[in-house]
Amino acid sequence: MKKIIGIIGGMGPLATADLFEKIIRATDAARDQDFPHVIVDCNTDIPDRTAAILMGGEDPVPQLVRSANTLAAAGADVLIMPCNTAHWFYDDLCLRTHLPVLHMLRLTADHLERTGVNAVGLLATDGTIQTGIYENLLSGRGIRVIKPDAPGQRRVMSAIYDGVKAGNLDAIDVAALRCTLDAMIAQGAECFVLGCTELPIVFAQCELPYPVADPTQILAEAAVSFAGYPVKKI
């Protein structure tokens, strides 16, 4: 029996749209009726996750639960969140919803383990970096994690917040970002984990020619499969 996918969105809106598009493109379909039923709640009232983790900002869990309840009431059978940092609150969310929630970061770690990669460059928000959530998942699978230095991390955060979240992609300093990525490759990074859902948009917009693991794509394919539809590898 086919399942309905519910997206807890708004973290941010462009990342939500990117996930929805990747679900459609990941489905092996020949007509409209072959695609999964997807319900999107673009809840922009969800407080900033990094601010909550690092600065004692407003707890995002109540709004995450609100979205989960909205999607459940609308008929969703499974939930997904296009926000890496929000997965720090994954257990709290799961305790307050009866629906299964796919874990994007675990799916990404499993994917990287299957590829046989030895070292990855992690690009993510300060919140995701500071929690160590990716490092814990990857180190347990024998994968070394390389992070940007302090100036490089500021460049990544600027691309995320001043670029994509602000709707100002032209503000991204592509040359500086390339310097950061090249330095991480020199340290042994074999590919880059796009550990913030704004980063696939950055890489596409800036035409950055680096090997990547895209958690948004990985989550999209997992959601299509979980919902009972054939996956078309892109």
The residues that are catalytic are: 83, 196
φ, ψ for residue 5 (rounded to 5)? -90, 130
Say what the alpha-carbon torsion angle 163, 58, 131, 98 is, to the nearest 10 degrees: -110
Strands 5-9 and 144-146: unpaired
**Cβ distance 191 to 210 under 8 Å?**
yes
Q: Is 160 in a helix, a strand, or coil?
A: helix
Q: Which of 115, 204, 202 is nearest to 155 (CA)?
A: 202
Report the alpha-carbon distance of residue 26 to residue 14 in Å, rounded. Answer: 18
Positive/negative CA dihedral, 59, 11, 169, 154: positive
Report the alpha-carbon distance of residue 44 to residue 83 in Å, rounded. Answer: 12
**Cβ distance 104 to 218 under 8 Å?**
yes
Q: Which of 138, 5, 2, 8 is nearest to 60 (CA)?
A: 8
